Amino acid sequence: MSYRIEVRPAAARALKRIHPSDRKRVQGAIVLLGRDPRPTGAKSLRGRDGMRVRVGDYRIIYTVRDDVLLVVVVDLGHRREIYR
């Protein structure tokens, strides 16, 4: 069963600012979230709804809506900046 992926505008802007080689890896990870929204290594966030997955030095913050088979990419960025 495949999930639809929705990327919020803030996440899309952040994706454009990432170096092209890293951008490709992050985009690949986002596509994989459509197949498996809770991959090995994904963690629930504390104090905030959603989950996060690591892609090198970058983090993808997202929520999963199982009722409508939807993964919403809320934000993404470098690990030193994303949790602020």
Residue spans per domain, the chain: 4-78
* CA 78/CA 17 separation, integer angstroms: 11
Q: Kindly report, residue by residue over 19-50, the tens digit of the pLDDT.
A: 999 999 999 999 999 999 999 999 999 988 89
10 Å Cβ neighbour count for 9? 7
Confidence at residue 17, expressed as pLDDT on a 0 to 100 scale: 95
Distance of CA 33 to the CA centre of its chain: 8
- DSSP, collapsed to helix, strand or coil, labels residue 73 as strand
Confidence at residue 84, expressed as pLDDT on a 0 to 100 scale: 72
* CA 84/CA 67 separation, integer angstroms: 30
Confidence at residue 68, expressed as pLDDT on a 0 to 100 scale: 96
Q: Kindly report, residue by residue over 12-26, the tens digit of the pLDDT.
A: 999 999 999 999 999
Query: What percent of the chain has pLDDT above 70?
Result: 100
What CATH number should be reported for the domain whose range is 4-78? 3.30.2310.20
